[in-house]
């Protein structure tokens, strides 16, 4: 596939697999769905972990680039980290989490910043302070209910940041329901940073019935012993092993 300077890329910046505590989606199935729906780049951003993204990348269909990412839980709300080699610890301050991503050469965005029901930086009041340190704002989240997307788009404009669209998929059905069109090759941190200047949002909305799968997935994962606490402990073990 042509991903040169003048090529158009179709990117979903925020997607979950069964490595997350609130999804049952197979990483391989997610990657296949992304390719089938015409995406060229898919960021898999599981909570606390990157093993689902690594599995998807290893099995990505031809024409699809899987970007290894993570939805990072900070003391003030969530961040999206891309181009990771190892998980970022949960529970850091936003500044420390961003610094940990930068140490790996990664990029950082703010997901669903004005969502009233999820870990959003605007709720903790840290978003204005953190805005100069990030690379994009999630201006359209397909799962968001209410006017949070409008507020996020306005915030992005006010702070001179690119506003992207993402599915925030927790099921295979949602992958690519909202995405971003870029000009360039966003396969590397430098390439994505350059391509963000050409953002074109393609909005979409996850159906109410599909969104109901997340609570069911949480229950199933909890019964399997794969709740969020388990993911954090696994991440701690990975980090300890990396230090040895």
* pLDDT tens sequence across 67-86: 999 999 999 999 999 999 99
What's the chain's average pLDDT? 89
Rounded-to-integer distance, Cα 101 and Cα 109, Å: 11
Instruction: Please choose, from the candidates 88, 75, 205, 190, the residue with its C-alpha nearest in 3D space to the C-alpha of residue 145.
Output: 205
Rounded-to-integer distance, Cα 13 and Cα 219, Å: 26
Q: What is the pLDDT of residues 2-45, one digit of tens each?
A: 455 579 999 999 999 999 999 999 999 999 999 999 999 999 99
Rounded-to-integer distance, Cα 63 and Cα 67, Å: 13
* pLDDT band at residue 241 using 50, 70 and 90 as cut-offs: very low
Rounded-to-integer distance, Cα 92 and Cα 223, Å: 28
Half-sphere exposure of 6 (CA within 13 A, CB side): 0
Model pLDDT, residue 229: 54
CA dihedral 170, 136, 228, 30 (to 10 degrees): 30
* pLDDT band at residue 231 using 50, 70 and 90 as cut-offs: very low
165 and 136 Cβ atoms separated by less than 8 Å: no
Instruction: Please choose, from the candidates 195, 164, 196, 175, the residue with its C-alpha nearest in 3D space to the C-alpha of residue 80.
Output: 164
Going from the N-terminus, what domains does the chain have, and what CATH number goes with each? 8-243 (3.20.20.140)
pLDDT at 206 over 90: no
pLDDT at 145 over 90: no
């Amino acid at each position: 596939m042509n991903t040169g300077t003048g090529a158009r890329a179709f990117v979903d910046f925020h997607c979950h697999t069964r490595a997350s505590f609130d999804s049952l989606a197979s990483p391989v199935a997610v990657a296949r769905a992304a390719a089938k729906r015409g995406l060229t780049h898919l960021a898999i951003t599981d909570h606390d972990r990157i093993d689902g993204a690594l599995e998807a990348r290893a099995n990505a269909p031809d024409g699809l680039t899987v970007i290894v990412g993570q939805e990072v839980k900070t003391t003030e709300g969530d961040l999206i980290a891309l181009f990771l080699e190892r998980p970022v610890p949960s529970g850091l301050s936003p500044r420390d989490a961003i610094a940990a991503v930068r140490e790996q050469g990664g990029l950082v965005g703010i997901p669903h910043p004005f969502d009233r029901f999820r870990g959003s930086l605007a709720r903790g009041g840290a978003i204005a302070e953190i805005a100069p340190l990030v690379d994009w704002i999630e201006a359209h989240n397909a799962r968001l209910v209410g006017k949070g997307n409008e507020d996020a788009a306005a915030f992005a404009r006010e702070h001179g940041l690119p506003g992207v669209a993402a599915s925030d998929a927790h099921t295979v059905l949602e992958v690519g329901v909202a995405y971003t069109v870029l000009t360039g090759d966003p396969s590397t941190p430098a390439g994505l940073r350059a391509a963000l200047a050409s953002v074109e949002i393609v909005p979409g909305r996850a159906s109410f019935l599909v969104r109901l799968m997340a609570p069911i997935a949480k229950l199933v994962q909890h019964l399997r012993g794969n709740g969020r606490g388990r993911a954090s402990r696994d991440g701690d073990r990975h980090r300890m092993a990396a230090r040895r």
